Chains A and B, each alone.
Chain A
Amino acid sequence: GIQVEQSPPDLILQEGANSTLRCNFSDSVNNLQWFHQNPWGQLINLFYIPSGTKQNGRLSATTVATERYSLLYISSSQTTDSGVYFCRYAGNNRKLIWGLGTSLAVNP
């Protein structure tokens, strides 16, 4: 079946550092979305990005559909960025497949 892999699985940063999270998928993409789950469990949509680049404040995302990956950039990280980051993929059949997430801890 289609694989959706996120890396790294865990990441520890000092406040102010930058980071790049990666999501690889094994088939052509129809829909790619990034989520942040905060330490209280709440899942927040970050980007809907099946292709191209988007930016929202300190966060930006890029999906290169032809090479089957998406990247989430976090700049000048803050402690409130801590949590788990998920990518969610859908192919041509629109079945949703979730990555296992990257657990991020930002230390003050």
Chain B
Amino acid sequence: SQTIHQWPATLVQPVGSPLSLECTVEGTSNPNLYWYRQAAGRGLQLLFYSVGIGQISSEVPQNLSASRPQDRQFILSSKKLLLSDSGFYLCAWIRLRGPGTDTQYFGPGTRLTVL
């Protein structure tokens, strides 16, 4: 079965410090991977998605970047964190089952607090 891992689970960082969140998927190959941010417990905001190694699409301009160095690894980074980067970060992958059919699975999330 497929599983998705994220770490760390929680993180407290000062403003201006760098960030690296990691997401890995097991049990599947060539997944579509996604990074979402959720603020105040509501509304998932898509940050980045990737359809393959080295292929990153950004949905919103921001202080963050993403990389996909390996097929099943997706990394979210920042050089200098802002207060507004606080939130709950979720990694997800999609199982493609055919045209117009796909289901999305989420990791456990990382709760980031920027002070």
Known interface pairs A31-B100, A50-B100; A45-B42 also in contact (CB < 8 Å): no
Q: State the CA gap A58–B107 with chains docked (Å).
A: 25
6 A-B pairs in the complex with CB atoms less than 8 angstroms apart: A42-B108, A43-B90, A45-B103, A90-B102, A94-B100, A96-B46
Q: Which 10 A-B pairs have the closest CB atoms?
A: A43-B106, A30-B100, A98-B44, A41-B109, A48-B103, A100-B43, A101-B42, A41-B88, A100-B42, A42-B108
The answer for the CA separation of A42 and B106 in the assembled complex, in Å, is: 8
Chain A residues with CB under 8 Å of chain B are: 30-31, 33, 35, 37, 41-45, 48, 50, 84, 86, 88, 90, 92, 94, 96, 98, 100-101, 103
Q: Which residue of chain A has the shortest Cβ distance to B41 in the bound complex?
A: A84
Residues of A close to B100: CB separation below 8 A: 30-31, 50, 90, 92, 94
Are A84 and B104 also in contact (CB < 8 A) when A41-B88, A42-B109 are?
A: no
Interface residues of B in 6-56 (CB under 8 A from A): 38, 41-44, 46
State the main secondary structure of chain B at its contact with A. strand
Q: Count B-side interface residues using an 8 Å CB cutoff.
A: 19
Contact B46 A45 (CB under 8 A): no
Report Cα–Cα, A101/B88, bound state, in Å.
15
Complex-state Cα separation, A96 to B102, whole angstroms: 11
| Cβ–Cβ contact A45 & B104, under 8 A | yes
A63 to B8, CA, bound (A): 37
B24 → A minimal CB distance (Å): 17
Contact between A96 and B109, CB atoms less than 8 A apart:
no
CB of B5 closer than 8 Å to a CB of A? no
B102 cross-chain contacts in A, Cβ below 8 A? 31, 90, 94
B101 at the interface (CB under 8 A from A): yes
CA distance A44 to B44 in the complex (A): 14
Are A33 and B109 in contact, CB atoms less than 8 angstroms apart?
no
Find out whether the CB atom of B105 lies under 8 angstroms from the CB atom of A45: yes
Measured between beta carbons, the chain B residues less than 8 angstroms from A30 are 100
Q: Distance (Å) between the CB of A43 and the closest chain B CB?
A: 4
Closest to B92 in A: A43
